[in-house]
Amino acid sequence: MSQKTIDIIVRIIKVGLCVLPAATLIVGGNFFANVLLPGVGDLFFPFITGKNFFFRMAVEILFALWATAAIFDKKYRPRPSPIFWAVAATMSVLILSTVLGANPYRSFWSNYERMEGLLGHLHLFAYFIMLIGVFKSQTDWRRFFYSGIAVSFIITAYSYLQFMGRLEIHQSDVRLDATLGNSTYLAIYLVFHLFLLAYYFFGEERIWIRSILAFVLIMEVPIVFLTATRGAIIGLMGGTALFGLLLAFIERSRKSKILAFGVIGVVVILAGVFFALKNTSFVDKNYVLKRFADISPQEQTVKSRLTIWGMALDGFKEHPVLGVGLENFNLVFNKYYKARLWPQEPWFDRAHNVFFDWLAQGGALGLIAYLGIFAAAIYTLWKNQSDKFATAAFTSLFAAYFFHNLFVFDNLTSYFIFFSVLGFVQFLASPSGKKPGFLEVSKPGFKELGNRSGAEVFFAKYVAVIFIFIAVLFSLYFLNFKPLFANQRLLDALKGMATDSGNVDKVLADFDRVFELKTFGNGEAREQLAGYANKIAGFNVPMELKVKAAQKAIVEMERQAAENPKDARAHLFLSALYLKIGRIDDALKTLTKARELSPQKQQIYFLLADANITKGDNNKALEILQEAYDLDPTYGESVKNLALVAILNKNEGYAEEILSKVFKNGIVADQNLLTAYARVGNYKKVRDIWLLYIKQEPGNAQYRVNLAATYMQLGERQNAIKELQKAIELNPQFKEQGEYFIEEVRAGRNPR
């Protein structure tokens, strides 16, 4: 292959790499998705899947081009360095952890919500290899990072439009998230770019570009604050202060010293002002500042994180060398679940601490390898301080990122920019051409492949290129297009559930279209189908269709449980379906297995109690719910469920005792408890519950009517009339019927 052709290929690769930062802009169905992923449309988990599919497909195509260039010109092969070997070692551990882990399939593929797994890490590794292989000059890297900075400014503009109410905030009402769909992702994405902006601002000689960089930097700082992501904000402030200290230490010029101490001074002043105002109404009324003021060991989020980190340690102790495997933290979470986590969401697949994630999923080797990347990067920066400003800036950036990762987990956007900076750090320490290339031989020429002739070598190279492109075609279809099609079909099924849920045959056919592709999306599709089958049980559709949907869901969830035998979640979904169609013994068997997998998951106990109540064994249900209650007596649902069965078992005194410990006066607005008290004839409790409902919703006319009916049961006819009159005032349409009821009550009759 001619050198001219190779040069063209390399230029294409460089352009492609400079386009890759635009992946951050992709949200399924938006303008950028239509440009970069034409014809794809809306996607399930739109903030995750579109970005990842674009990144993976682009990397695979570019990697094939890079491999072609590297085969014919060894200068494009990656050069060995501490960073390269650290990243390669991490990949090796991940491969072993995946193969030997608890669920290799899930470890390899991940799911639509995360799109990580070994497959995601392999693409990041390929991306890293290309970066260090083709970017050989400061100009290359500047163009690349400037393209990323341009994208970050678009993200920033989007965030300001969210702040002004012109665009929707996706995650919450106040925490900006832009096109990333998560304020935490946005925060660390911008933190990386702030350090890059600072680095290039001081290194850029062109005044007009420096002005643009300064403007973008000034605009992005407030957005980090408005994400209200505490780890990222503290990391940014700490990293900035560290940058000042390092600059003061390694730079001798007076100008640098002034800059260094100025930076430190700003951070100290900001921190001091916050602590001075911490207990004022100004802080209390500001959502972001209040989140910082509320940080304490007693805060629910902090308590939950500490508990989950302890669970991760338990998982590590069970699998100390290679962990449980990538994407299998859910198994650790289930097995070591602590009942006191009930205020949090019921399912976690991350420890919300990158280092505990690596420890639990990759074991000691995984964590050591991951930390080795940071160590290699810092070592590389400090070994060769030809650019002292870069040494200070990127050391501080890694420190900020490290601190941020103590409280969250990574995703494509943070991994992408992290590997980009790693590649640049390697470039700064190892200028092109100074070291022999990785996989190079000592003497180029016809001896490259032993004693083969030049023609044989030439032929072998072309065969290798052909093989690579065939492999890429294979990967594009099986690794990307099939899961992408399945994703779209799943979204179609979900839309059908929302808009045409009564058309059971159509919805089930939509799900069949997902399952026939046989991708990793089947797991999420099965859970959605199970949810649909449970939902339509209360719809006005023929019974045979309800049964058909439930049976279809059961078949799929049985497959899910068989494929994931250690996942309590799959067994829980399956047991709920069994209960819906009356397969009580199957439900009990499945729930027993689920409880073995997650001994402290209260939701499992609740379903076990339901199954026993259905069988008519209220005493067994009471025993099970007592166990759930004893796990954590402060959990309101446990208290209500135990009280409910206690009432049905004629033990109202015990019910009132436990309710009083959690709810004021032992009264809680709960329909099930209300029904139970009515069933045993305790209408005074029924009255008290309706009064509480009315206190919470004083404008609800139906509650007044229900309370009137309760007063009738208590023989308090005048009170019943008063409530009916109030109901008429609240709802004039009820006047005719209400006046009829009042006449009947006054006449001494019970209205019907």
- Residues 638-678 have pLDDT tens digits of 999 999 999 988 899 999 999 999 998 889 999 999 999 99
What is the band of 435 on the pLDDT scale with cuts at 50, 70, 90? very low
Residue 444, number of CB atoms within 10 A of its CB: 9
Which residue would you say has higher pLDDT here, 204 or 90? 90
| Alpha carbon separation from 633 to 513, 607, 612 (Å, rounded) | 46, 18, 22
Quickly list H helices, 477-601: 482-499, 504-515, 522-535, 543-563, 568-580, 584-597
Residue written as token pair 């719910």: 625
pLDDT confidence of residue 448: 46
pLDDT confidence of residue 439: 38
What angle is formed at CA 354 by the lines to CA 350 and CA 357, rounded to 5 degrees?
50
Sign, CA torsion 463/468/474/476: negative
CA distance 216 to 193: 10
pLDDT confidence of residue 384: 76
Do residues 81 and 289 lie in contact, with contact meaning Cβ atoms separated by under 8 Å? Answer: no
Do residues 35 and 47 lie in contact, with contact meaning Cβ atoms separated by under 8 Å? Answer: no
Q: Which residues neighbour 258 within 8 Å (Cβ) at sequence distance 6 or greater?
A: none
| Alpha carbon separation from 104 to 117, 335, 361, 378 (Å, rounded) | 10, 18, 12, 33
Do residues 89 and 369 lie in contact, with contact meaning Cβ atoms separated by under 8 Å? Answer: yes
Amino acid letter, residue 481: F
pLDDT confidence of residue 299: 80
Q: Is it the case that residue 122 has pLDDT exceeding 50?
A: yes
Q: Is 11 exposed, middle or buried (0-12, 13-18, 19+ CB in 10 A)?
A: exposed
Do residues 357 and 312 lie in contact, with contact meaning Cβ atoms separated by under 8 Å? Answer: yes
pLDDT confidence of residue 336: 96
Name the strand (E) or helix (H) holding 351.
none
Q: Is it the case that residue 449 has pLDDT exceeding 50?
A: no
CA distance 482 to 472: 14
Structural tokens at position 156: 């920033």
Please compute the mean of the pLDDT values over residues 696-712 and round it to a whole number. Answer: 93
CA distance 752 to 740: 10
Mean pLDDT of the chain: 91
Do residues 243 and 393 lie in contact, with contact meaning Cβ atoms separated by under 8 Å? Answer: yes
Question: What 3-state DSSP class applies to 663?
Answer: coil
Percent of the chain with pLDDT over 70: 96
What is the band of 516 on the pLDDT scale with cuts at 50, 70, 90? very high
What is the band of 444 on the pLDDT scale with cuts at 50, 70, 90? very low
Please compute the mean of the pLDDT values over residues 184-202 and round it to a whole number. Answer: 96
pLDDT confidence of residue 493: 94
CA distance 473 to 748: 84
pLDDT (tens digit per residue) in 348-387? 999 999 999 999 999 999 999 999 999 999 999 998 777 8
Dihedral pair phi/psi, residue 57, rounded to 5°: -65, -40
CA distance 711 to 718: 8
- CA-derived radius of gyration, the chain: 31
Question: What 3-state DSSP class applies to 431?
Answer: coil
First vs last Cα of the chain: how many Å apart?
93
User: Could you give the count of Cα atoms lying within 13 Å of 179 in the half-sphere of its Cβ?
Assistant: 25
Residue written as token pair 């900020």: 400
Residue 492, number of CB atoms within 10 A of its CB: 18
Q: Is 732 exposed, middle or buried (0-12, 13-18, 19+ CB in 10 A)?
A: exposed
Do residues 203 and 394 lie in contact, with contact meaning Cβ atoms separated by under 8 Å? Answer: no
- What's the full length of the chain, in residues? 752
Percent of the chain with pLDDT over 90: 75
Quickly list H helices, 319-453: 329-335, 354-383, 388-404, 412-429
Sign, CA torsion 381/145/141/367: positive
Residue 249, number of CB atoms within 10 A of its CB: 11
Sign, CA torsion 371/376/381/382: positive
Q: Which residues neighbour 698 within 8 Å (Cβ) at sequence distance 6 or greater?
A: none
CA distance 384 to 429: 6
Among 229, 193, 178, 199, residue whose Cα is nearest residue 417 = 193
pLDDT confidence of residue 437: 37
| Alpha carbon separation from 745 to 4, 375, 694, 702, 712 (Å, rounded) | 99, 82, 22, 18, 8
What is the band of 35 on the pLDDT scale with cuts at 50, 70, 90? confident
Q: Is it the case that residue 442 has pLDDT exceeding 60?
A: no
Do residues 700 and 670 lie in contact, with contact meaning Cβ atoms separated by under 8 Å? Answer: no
Please compute the mean of the pLDDT values over residues 130-148 and round it to a whole number. Answer: 96
Do residues 366 and 329 lie in contact, with contact meaning Cβ atoms separated by under 8 Å? Answer: no
Q: Is it the case that residue 545 has pLDDT exceeding 70?
A: yes
Which of the 8 DSSP states describes residue 80? P
Residue 478, number of CB atoms within 10 A of its CB: 11
Q: Which residues neighbour 599 within 8 Å (Cβ) at sequence distance 6 or greater?
A: 337
Please compute the mean of the pLDDT values over residues 72-92 and round it to a whole number. Answer: 94
pLDDT (tens digit per residue) in 553-595? 999 999 999 999 999 999 999 999 999 999 999 999 999 999 9
Sign, CA torsion 667/669/675/676: negative
Among 24, 352, 354, 56, residue whose Cα is nearest residue 189 = 24
Residue written as token pair 């890059």: 196
CA distance 429 to 437: 15
pLDDT confidence of residue 452: 57
CA distance 94 to 363: 10
pLDDT (tens digit per residue) in 224-277? 999 999 999 999 999 999 999 998 888 777 777 788 888 888 888 988 887 887
Dihedral pair phi/psi, residue 176, rounded to 5°: -65, 145
Q: Which residues neighbour 622 within 8 Å (Cβ) at sequence distance 6 or greater?
A: 609, 642, 645, 646, 649
Among 534, 500, 496, 498, residue whose Cα is nearest residue 512 = 496
Q: Which residues neighbour 329 within 8 Å (Cβ) at sequence distance 6 or greater?
A: 312, 315, 348, 349, 350, 351, 357, 360, 361
CA distance 194 to 723: 63
Which of the 8 DSSP states describes residue 449? T
What is the band of 50 on the pLDDT scale with cuts at 50, 70, 90? very high
SS3 content of the chain, % helix, strand, coil (to 5): 75, 0, 25
pLDDT confidence of residue 66: 96
pLDDT (tens digit per residue) in 98-118? 999 999 999 999 999 999 999
Structural tokens at position 410: 């990574």
